[in-house]
Chains A and B, each alone.
Chain A
Amino acid sequence: MYKKPLPRPTLESKEFWEGCKRHELLIQRCRDCGSYRHYPRLLCPKCNSENTEWVKVSGKGQVYTWAIAVQPFHPGFAEDVPYAMVIVELEEGVRLMTNIADSRPEDLYIGMPVEVVFDDVAEEVTLPKFKPAGK
Chain B
Amino acid sequence: MTTLKDKAAIVGIGETEYSRNSGMSNLGLLLQAAKRAVEDSGLSIKDIDGVIPGFMGITAEDLISNFGLADLRYSTTVHMGGASAVASLQTAAMAIATGIAHNVVCLIGWNGYSGMRAGAVGVQMQTMPTMPMMSNLREFEMPFGSFVPAHWFAPLARRHMHEYGTTSRQFGAVAVAMRKHALLNEKAMMKKSITIEEHQNSRMIVDPFRLLDCCLESDGAAAVVVTAAERAKDMRHRPVYIMGIAEGHPDSPDQIPNRPVFTEVGAKKAAPHAFAMAGVTPKDIDVAMIYDCFTWVVICQLEDLGFCKKGEGGPFVEGGRIELGGELPVNTHGGLLSQAHILGMNHVVEAVRQLRGDGGAAQVKNAEIALVSGFGDLGDGSVVILRR
Contacts and interface: CB of A to CB of B under 8 A. Distances in A.
Contact of B151 (A65, A69, A82, A127): A69
B207 A68 contact: yes
B145 A66 contact: no
Contact of B143 (A7, A13, A64): A7
Contacts of B192: none
Nearest to A75: B123
Interface string A64-106: 1111111101100100101101010000001111110000010
B334 to A, nearest CB: 23
Contacts of B208: 67
Interface residues of A, number: 38
A19 to B, nearest CB: 14
Contacts of B257: 64, 87, 95-97
Given A71-B206, A73-B120, A9 B139 contact: yes
A82 B123 CA distance: 18
Contacts of A87: 155, 256-257
Contacts of A71: 203-206
A60 interface: no
B143 A5 contact: yes
B158, B162, B208, B255 — most chain A CB neighbours (10 Å): B158
Most buried by B among A37, A39, A67, A96: A67
Nearest to A36: B258
B138 interface: yes
B364 to A, nearest CB: 35
B3 interface: no
Interface in A103-135: 105, 110, 121, 127, 129
A21 B233 CA distance: 67
Most buried by A among B144, B208, B262: B144
A57 B322 CA distance: 48
A65 B139 contact: no
Among B141, B143, B145, B154, max chain A CB count under 10 A is at B145
19 contacts: A8-B138, A10-B139, A37-B258, A39-B258, A64-B262, A67-B208, A68-B204, A70-B205, A73-B119, A73-B120, A73-B147, A73-B148, A74-B142, A77-B145, A83-B145, A85-B145, A95-B258, A97-B140, A97-B141
